[in-house]
Amino acid sequence: MKIVVVGNGMVGYKFCEKLLAKSSTKKIELVVFGEEIRPAYDRVHLSEFFAGKSAEDLSMAGVNWYTENGIKLHLSDPVQKIDRSNKTVTSFKGITESYDYLILATGSAAFVPSIPGVEKDGVFVYRTIEDLEMIRDYAPKAKKGAVIGGGLLGLEAAKAMIDLGINDTHVIEFASRLMPRQIDDAGSALLKSKLESLGLTILTNTNTTKIEGEKAISKMLFANGSSIDVDMLVISAGIKPRDELAKNCGLETGPRGGITVNEKLQTTDPFIFAIGECALYQGMIYGLVAPGYEMAEVVATYLCSGEKEFTGFDMSTKLKLIGIDVASFGDPFISAADARHIVYEDANKGIYKRINISKDGKELLGGILVGDAEQYNMLLQTCKNKIVLPPNPEDLILGSRGGESAGGAGVLSLPDDAHVCSCESVSKKNICDAVIDGAETVDKIKACTKAGTGCGGCVPMVKDLMVHTMKAQGKYVRNVICEHFDFSRQELYNLTKINQLKTYDDVLTTHGKGDGCEVCKPLVSSILASLWNELILKKGNDTAQDSNDRFLANLQKGGTYSIVPRIPGGEITPDKLIVIGEVAKQYNLYTKITGGQRIDLFGAHVGDLPAIWKLLIDAGFESGHAYGKALRTVKSCVGSTWCRYGLHDSVSYAIRIEERYRGLRAPHKIKSAVSGCIRECAEAQSKDFGIIATEKGWNLYVCGNGGSKPQHALLLATDLDSETCIKYIDRFLMFYIKTAEPLNRTATWLNKMEGGIDYLKNVVINDSLGMAEEWEKEMQSLVDNYKCEWREVVENPDFQKRFGHFINAPEEKDPTVKFETMRDQKRAAEWK
């Protein structure tokens, strides 16, 4: 049997995948034509292209996948003609292929309204990676942006514009509200005010009549007589099914587009099927990926002699728009005549929830969630499966207030055939069975059921189901480290301390099983370092360190290392600066100032590290621990010794703090800063602990974070003298080191802490746990035990022997290391 697929989008790809899975015994020849230059990619997450995802990241499967599965893939080659009598198709490049069955998965194109001037430069649609590339390239020229269309894609496009730096962006919607197909007036009004607070201007009831400009767009005119100046426009006013091929070969199409299909997705020619956004079933186009996948499933089943019909599809959706949850399910708009409404609105927090329940109060018919869609999956399942509602259905959106908590019982009340993952059609039973068969992590469940691999929205439910199923089997589910240790980090920390264990192997033998792994080894090494502060390269512990700790340097692209000497408080003498320059010159190292007021030297061969450090240590430097989950820098502003505004000597205090906690190992890296006045030039409020001078002393802030999820530090205590401030930092750091989960920065640690900053204040300031004295003593012993790791290596020839690339050619460097030149320095050669 020979099957030709026209169109290589998400649904076309999914059809191939499903057909292969079902046809293992049958011989099927599969040919795919795609119009775009690359194979099918994830169009649902297209906007992530602007957030840094590459075309490759978005790809559903590489070209290899097609080759390996024997699929003939023609890219950049759209089919131009279907000859139904001879059962052949002919492509743009002139390739003719015969077929037994033809699958049209041609998808849709952006609908562009016929506004005069729409052809001008600077007007784009939002559909393919190429469209996004053009938008990205044009954006730097634009200052004022606009989007026509206030639906899902339009708002995504508006977010993309803001991300591209066009802060003055209008959204123009013809209807009276945003997302008219998903949410009601009240929900839309709330969404509108949230979007406006992000800087977007929203114009509803607005019809564009003309686009003006010489060559490129410069102005838009509206039917109500108003206008706006604009230099870039993205049109996202809906989709238009691609039905031209079908129409030209005489297949029936709908008056407003779409290829007419029956419940088997057959067109008016029984040998031709249409699936996805080009298919018109009972007068409806299904513009979401999940129904498209379901259509692919129906056709693949049919062609493999199975029985399955398409009977319409639930159009419930949940999405995150510019950080705002928006969801609708069931029948969101059902009127008060046919249902009772329960509405909750909190304009303060920006939350709107509406559920529609049947007049007898027994069934959930649909609803809308804006601002907080946490209950979406539960509500959707309750609605789809017609689960009898509890006596107080408002609990569904408000949570149980007082009394027994409903908790996760919700997941369990679902029937076995409830669709948990709609993208991949995975039922509750499929997931529970997988867990019973041994898939006891979310990743394993994803791999064997595919649940959660589409939009990912059901992953929290999958996790709940996993936990419940395992508990139902009598399994105790805990947040354990890995397969080798049945403990949390905190438990293992205490066990290691009580039993005075000093090496990784001792900890594994006493409290673990198996032979360890890349998760528990660095974790235990960090606990050992936090507890005893012994040299991490001590025999037996060296190979349990993460690669950076093992070589006391940062592994960089190409396999060379970078070196960061400690420069406490960012203060350095001219002589020391000269030494760094000379060392960098001698070993040809790339130099760069870091964000923490230090100097990073890149491109050192592993075998050169001890010699480089010998020079640095002789000049009075010590390790900066940039390679470790440890205290990094204490940044400072210049303070009262020079600054005319400075209240205290922030540099001296920063140096004192940095020298106190240098080398302190923790669950994650720790950064700090000291500012000499409230102008905050050292940015102390973005650090794990930050200190700001006041008239009367120091204010101490904790648990701030730069990085990928920035968070401001919170004020822990005010107007402290220098000694008390250090005492509080001792307590704070020991509490963190003892109780944080692995690789959690202090911000994450605090976010998970019950009681939050108030609880933390109570522990640190009021000593509510009665641990303060012990913690201060433990910290003092760590401080007293500090030794520079690199000094120990430089003074010990045995340690130095470990720094070489070849064990049997110690003098030789790795010949595969390659550098390129850039701005008069070297850089690592790009990897593939």
Partner 1 sequence: MEVKEKVIWFYACKAEDVPANGGVCVKYGDQQIALFNFTRRGEWYATQNMCPHRQQMAISRGMIGSEGDEPKVACPFHKKTFSLKSGSCTSGEEYSLKTYPVKIENGKVYIKVN
Alpha helices in 127-260 (DSSP H): 129-138, 152-163, 185-197, 244-248
Binding footprint of partner 1, residue count (CB under 8 A): 39
The nearest distance, CB 450 to partner 1, in angstroms, is: 14
Find out whether 277 and 292 touch, Cβ atoms under 8 Å. Answer: yes
C-alpha closest to that of 376 among 182, 600, 86? 182
Q: Whole-angstrom Cα distance, residue 761 to residue 769?
A: 11
Residue 94 burial by CB count (10 A; 0-12/13-18/19+): exposed, middle or buried?
A: exposed
Q: How far is the CB of 831 from partner 1 (least distance, A)?
A: 4
- Does 22 interact with partner 1 (rule: CB under 8 A)? no
Measured CA to CA, the distance from residue 435 to residue 429 in angstroms comes to 10
Please identify, using beta-carbon distances, which residue of 269 and 440 lies nearer to partner 1: 440
Q: Which residues, other chains included, contact 542 with Cβ-Cβ below 8 Å and sequence gap of 6+? A: 536, 550, 802
Query: What pairs with residue 320 in β-bridges?
Result: 325
User: Where do we find the tokens 């020391």?
Assistant: 576
Shortest spacing between CB 518 and partner 1, in angstroms: 4
Q: Segment 763-822, which members bind partner 1 (CB under 8 A)?
A: 802, 805-809, 812, 814-817
Nearest distance from C-beta of residue 819 to partner 1, angstroms: 15
Within 475-514, the residues that bind partner 1 by CB under 8 A are 483-484, 505, 508, 514
**Least distance from partner 1 to the Cβ atom of residue 801, Å:** 8
Place of tokens 């890349």: 518
Using rule CB under 8 A, residue 831 touches partner 1: yes
**Beta carbon nearer to partner 1, 99 or 551:** 551
Considering only 248, 311, 499, 547, the residue that binds partner 1 (CB under 8 A) is 547
| C-beta closer to partner 1: residue 307 or 798 | 798
Which residues between 437 and 466 bind partner 1 (CB under 8 A)?
447
What's the rounded Cα separation, in Å, for the pair 153 and 243?
22
Shortest distance, position 688 Cβ to partner 1, whole Å: 25
Euclidean distance between the first and final Cα of the chain, in Å? Answer: 39
Residues 516-535 that bind partner 1 (CB under 8 A): 516-518, 520-522
* Apex 530 CA angle, 526 and 535, nearest 5: 80
| Least distance from partner 1 to the Cβ atom of residue 515, Å | 4
Residue closer to partner 1, measured from CB, 379 or 537: 537
* Nearest distance in Å: CB 163, partner 1: 26
**Nearest-approach distance from CB 395 to partner 1, in angstroms:** 41
3 state DSSP class of 632 = strand
552-571: contacts with partner 1 (CB under 8 A): 555, 558-559
Least distance in angstroms from the C-beta of 832 to partner 1: 6
Greatest Cα-to-Cα distance within the chain, rounded to the nearest angstrom:
92
- Cβ proximity to partner 1, 336 vs 807, nearer residue: 807
Residue selected from 170, 550, 566, 625 as contacting partner 1 according to rule CB under 8 A? 550
Our CB check for partner 1 shows the closer of 449 and 640 to be: 449
> Using CA atoms, how far apart are residues 192 and 202, in angstroms rounded to an integer?
7
Residues 6 or more apart in contact with residue 419 via CB below 8 angstroms: 381, 384, 425, 426, 427
User: Which of 627, 489, 447, 458 is CA-nearest to residue 546?
Assistant: 627
Query: Per rule CB under 8 A, is residue 85 in the interface with partner 1?
Result: no
- C-beta closer to partner 1: residue 438 or 770: 438
Query: Residues for the chain: how many in total?
Result: 832
**Binding positions for partner 1, 194-233, rule CB under 8 A:** none
DSSP state string for 355-390: EEE-TTS--EEEEEEES--TTHHHHHHHHHTTPPPP
Residue 645 or 806 with smaller CB distance to partner 1 = 806
Residues 6+ apart with CB under 8 A from 303: 1, 3, 19, 23, 28, 101
Q: Under the criterion CB under 8 A, does residue 340 sit at the interface with partner 1? A: no
Q: Rounded to the nearest whole angstrom, what is the least distance from the CB of residue 100 to partner 1 in the complex? A: 31
3-state secondary structure string, 185-221?
A: HHHHHHHHHHHHHCCEEEECCCCEEEEECCCECCEEE
**What is the C-alpha separation between 270 and 264, in angstroms, rounded?**
10
Residue 61 or 495 having the CB closest to partner 1: 61
* Interaction pattern, residues 604-623, with partner 1; x per rule: CB under 8 A: --------------------
Q: Closest CB to partner 1 among 539 and 679?
A: 539
Task: Identify which of residues 324 and 544 has a Cβ nearer to partner 1 in the complex.
Answer: 544
Q: Which is nearer to partner 1, 108 or 744 (CB)?
A: 744
Least separation in angstroms between residue 369's CB and partner 1 is: 34
Please say which residue, 553 or 630, places its beta carbon nearer to partner 1: 553
C-alpha to C-alpha distance for 318 and 370, rounded to whole angstroms: 10
- Binding to partner 1 by residue 515, rule CB under 8 A? yes
Q: Give the one residue of 163, 542, 571, 659 binding partner 1; rule: CB under 8 A.
A: 542
C-beta of 562: minimal distance to partner 1 in Å?
14
Q: Nearest Cα to 800, choosing from 529, 614, 572?
A: 614
DSSP 687: S
Does the protein bind partner 1 through residue 540 (CB under 8 A)? yes
Select the span of 114-122, 293-301, 549-557, 699-707 touching partner 1 (CB under 8 A).
Answer: 549-557
Min separation Cβ 74 and partner 1, Å: 24
User: Closest separation between CB of residue 786 and partner 1, Å?
Assistant: 25
Helix extents (H) in 230-288: 244-248
Q: Is residue 731 at the binding interface for partner 1, with CB under 8 A as the rule?
A: no
Strand order of the β-sheet with 227-229 is 208-212, 219-222, 227-229
Of 26, 475, 539, 787, which lies in the binding site for partner 1, with binding defined by CB under 8 A?
539
124 three-class SS: strand
* Interaction site with partner 1 (CB under 8 A): 447, 483-484, 505, 508, 514-518, 520-522, 539-540, 542-544, 546-548, 550-551, 555, 558-559, 802, 805-809, 812, 814-817, 831-832
